[in-house]
Amino acid sequence: MAAFETASQDLAEINKILHKITVAALLDPSFLARLNSDPIAVFLESGITFPAGKVVEVHQQTEKTFHFVLPMAQTGLSADGAEKYASMQNEDPGNSAIQGGARCTKP
């Protein structure tokens, strides 16, 4: 299987898992507390792994805050390439996870 196909499958599965984590965090205060205190463990239990040494931070919007997360910097992007890269990141939250080295461990 090509790396692109694997990444696409990972992306689709990671988006499903991110959705489940988000719903659980919104509905269950104890889950949210665990997610905030040990996000790597919560992601691992959910089927998402990160490379060793990767830091995962959880941010929650409030009435007074808005978190704007930029994708990882890419060198040598053309204006067209930057437009496509930004669109890809904004349309699909799992793209950021894939770019951060996340991989899905659940089929």
Q: How far apart are CA 102 and CA 47, in angstroms?
A: 10
The answer to whether the predicted template modeling score (pTM) of the entire model surpasses 0.85 is no
pLDDT tens-place string over residues 12-61:
888 888 899 999 999 999 999 999 999 999 999 998 888 888 889 999 98
Total tally of structural domains belonging to the chain? 1
Question: Kind and range of the H or E element at 49?
Answer: strand 48-49
State the pLDDT at residue 21.
Answer: 94
pLDDT tens-place string over residues 56-103:
999 998 889 887 777 777 788 788 877 777 776 666 665 556 556 666
- Its domain, for residue 57, covers 3-104
